Amino acid sequence: MLVDVLFPIHADAFTYFVPEDLKYKVGPGVRVLAPFKRGKKVGIVQSKEPRAQNQDLNKMKLKSIESVLDDEPLVPEKILKLIKWVGEYYMSTSGLALKNAVPSAFFTGKKAGRSRIVYDEEVIKAKVVDLNDEQTRALGEINSADKGVFLAHGVTGSGKTEIYIRAIKALPPEREAVVLVPEIAITTQMIDRFRAHFGESVVFFHSGLSVGERITQWRRMRNGEVRVVIGVRSAVFAPFNNLGLIVIDEEQEASYKQFEGLRYNARDTALARAQLEGVKVILGSATPSMEAYFNARSGRIRYLELTQRIEQRPLPGVDIIDMTKEEKQTFSLSNKLLEALKENMGNNHQSLIMLNRRGYSPFFMCTDCGHTYKCPACSITLIYHKDTNTLNCHYCGSYLNPQAMCPTCKGTRIKHLGTGTQRAEEEIQSLMPGLAFKRMDRDTTQKKLSHYRIIRQMEEKKIDVLLGTQMVAKGHDFPDVTLSAVISADIALNMPDFRSAERAFQLFTQLAGRAGRGEVPGRAYIQTYEPEHYVFDFVRSHDYKGFYDKEIELRKELSYPPFSRLLRIIFSFKNKGDAGKTVKVISGRIRRMNQASSPLARGGVEILGPAPAPVEKIRNLWRWHIIMKGKNAKALRQAAAVILEKLKDVKNMKIDIDVDPINML
């Protein structure tokens, strides 16, 4: 007997011989110990087949597996099929998909552990909620179907989570559900809501858990001990055997996409899993992705609209503050916003503020000669972090210690320009003494349970103002938040990406929607130096459909998604000079392939580039890319495979493939 064994490495399966005494123990999904190179490795059996009579194993030079580590399959066959699909669709390998799907501890022998979060059962009680007509209608459509994709498009605060909960309750008791959320911070409130209804049969699964906790939660799912898993990206691979429903909350979020290694999108992987297993999917959002809404309009997925907030609460009013005219205390804080914050605090209400830039200052500049400090390994400016007194690179993680003297002109007039969350925190606290204040960004949430504690403090009204990056804008439900604000909206508007307007509209609308979810109406303030930008016209009126109609015309004109599919190939080089020479060779070969009569052109594939990537250098690698456009995803992947075949003899070059890219930087 022969078996194909997958290891959690960047490779597809390896074939091994099965000794006679292990034939009846081995099967798809079980772990085996097998010789690999000069050592031994734990892998998962992907498939097995009887040895053909005429096969000479000595000539094939196959090694034998040494032992079987499981009495029954650890990984369900349905997940093995999904792993294979992910590896193929994203032009990667099944081994890398396995690495993302199954906790690494199962291959290294780490022990299981207990969760450190202790739930207070007295607090977690399900609230009795009466559904309005729109919710009832939406739920009826979902429950009447056995499979299919539904877009639940509901304004912020319209009760989408209640629909998710009731749709899971309506499943047959043996059926399980996966609930995906885009940020770890959101899981805290989601878990409380779901535990109120499903008790101990809910687990959460994300990278914030310890290795031991991940093993424990994974085994509980695999053994059928739980009914619902809530988690971020990797939860899409939850090892359920009887899946009935997948919920993708905030389906438009870019954080569902992994940007390094296996560049999979958890939302699209969930849709593929649902198709493989014949189950239902709910895509939920107040601001759906252009692709999801386009598919709903064209009838490819079913559309469920929720236009009203719970209990007919009004949507918050939105003020666009023109920072070119407004009086301000600092470069980034207008008098109007500060007065509103003070009034809100005086009324014993809470506020949420978003500034989507970490650190203290994004520019550390010598005002004598204009020298700015850049990362030596990446082609971006370093961000000054005051708490550590370091200049940090947010791409590669390296840092420098700032000097009092400019390295270029020896001048000493060095200033911090621009504002990050640390500087905004300092300014707000100095202008509003006595404020109960908290900052939530990647720097303050590195410790375990830090998200959990901050959310709890907000719920318990121990915080007056919560300032943070975009993680504060998504999915939170704080009834006492009556003011939300964006300090510097222009950061989101000025990204070199065709999706920048869409992302800005989504982010501002989501942030505004955090306000006024309780008894008191809310207000949102958005500060900008570009108040005439068309995005603000639609944010002000919460007009998603108006924004969509304008944006879809621009996409159609340029033949960008949803009117085409994209595939990006990134070439990385250690030496800038070598990059230029090699790109000339690549360019010549691609030009010949891109002629009108070529198979690529006949397949409707257009190739743009090669050109330097917008961020040309990351981690000491010089980066060029090509963008491929076409109507058909399969034709794009086939064309990319042809290009890779043509370039396989090119040396000293690293290639990354990004299928369905959502970030062109």
Please write the tens of the pLDDT for every residue from 535-570: 999 999 999 999 999 999 999 999 999 999 999 999
What tokens were used for 91?
């032009």
Contacts 24+ apart (CB under 8 A), 135-144: 135/159, 135/162, 135/163, 135/306, 137/304, 138/163, 138/304, 138/305, 138/306, 139/163, 139/166, 139/167, 139/170, 141/302, 141/304, 142/167, 142/170, 142/280, 142/282, 142/304, 143/167, 143/170
570/49 Cα distance (integer angstroms):
38
Answer yes or no: is pLDDT of 122 > 50.
no
Closest CA to 316 of 550, 545, 526: 526
97-101, 346-350, 635-639: segment of lowest average pLDDT: 635-639
Opening angle at CA 184, ends 178 and 185, nearest 5? 120
DSSP state at residue 374: B
**Which pLDDT score is estimated for 116?**
58
Q: Which ranges of 329-388 would DSSP assign to H, the alpha helix? A: 335-346
Q: Which residue would you say has higher pLDDT here, 527 or 210?
A: 527
Answer yes or no: is pLDDT of 112 > 80.
no
Opening angle at CA 639, ends 635 and 643, nearest 5? 170
**Which pLDDT score is estimated for 191?**
85
| CA torsion angle 287 324 422 507 (round to 10) | 0
**Which pLDDT score is estimated for 192?**
85
- Mean pLDDT over 377-387 rounds to 91
- Mean pLDDT over 44-52 rounds to 81
Side chain identity at 391, as an amino acid letter? L
Answer yes or no: is pLDDT of 120 > 60.
no
| Residue showing tokens 């990446």 | 378
Answer yes or no: is pLDDT of 575 > 50.
yes
Q: How much of the chain exceeds pLDDT 90, in percent?
A: 71
- The number of beta carbons lying within 10 Å of the beta carbon of residue 282 is 26
4 close to 14: Cβ distance less than 8 angstroms: yes
Q: Which residues pair with 49 in a beta bridge?
A: 2
523 close to 136: Cβ distance less than 8 angstroms: no
**Which pLDDT score is estimated for 59?**
52
CB-based contacts of 258, cutoff 8 Å, min separation 6: 100, 233, 264, 265, 266
318 close to 542: Cβ distance less than 8 angstroms: yes
- The number of beta carbons lying within 10 Å of the beta carbon of residue 330 is 15
254/302 Cα distance (integer angstroms):
22
**Which pLDDT score is estimated for 87?**
97
Please write the tens of the pLDDT for every residue from 396-419: 999 999 888 999 999 999 888 889
**Which pLDDT score is estimated for 600?**
65
DSSP state at residue 386: T
264/257 Cα distance (integer angstroms):
6
Closest CA to 383 of 442, 470, 328, 471: 442
Answer yes or no: is pLDDT of 21 > 70.
yes
Answer yes or no: is pLDDT of 453 > 60.
yes
Q: How much of the chain exceeds pLDDT 70, in percent?
A: 95
Closest CA to 303 of 148, 132, 506, 133: 148
**Which pLDDT score is estimated for 540?**
96
Answer yes or no: is pLDDT of 269 > 60.
yes
- Mean pLDDT over 390-399 rounds to 92
3 close to 15: Cβ distance less than 8 angstroms: yes
Closest CA to 359 of 385, 391, 332, 390: 385
Domains and CATH numbers, the chain: 2-108 (3.40.1440.60), 133-311 (3.40.50.300), 314-357+419-557 (3.40.50.300), 565-659 (3.30.70.600)
Answer yes or no: is pLDDT of 472 > 70.
yes
**Which pLDDT score is estimated for 55?**
54
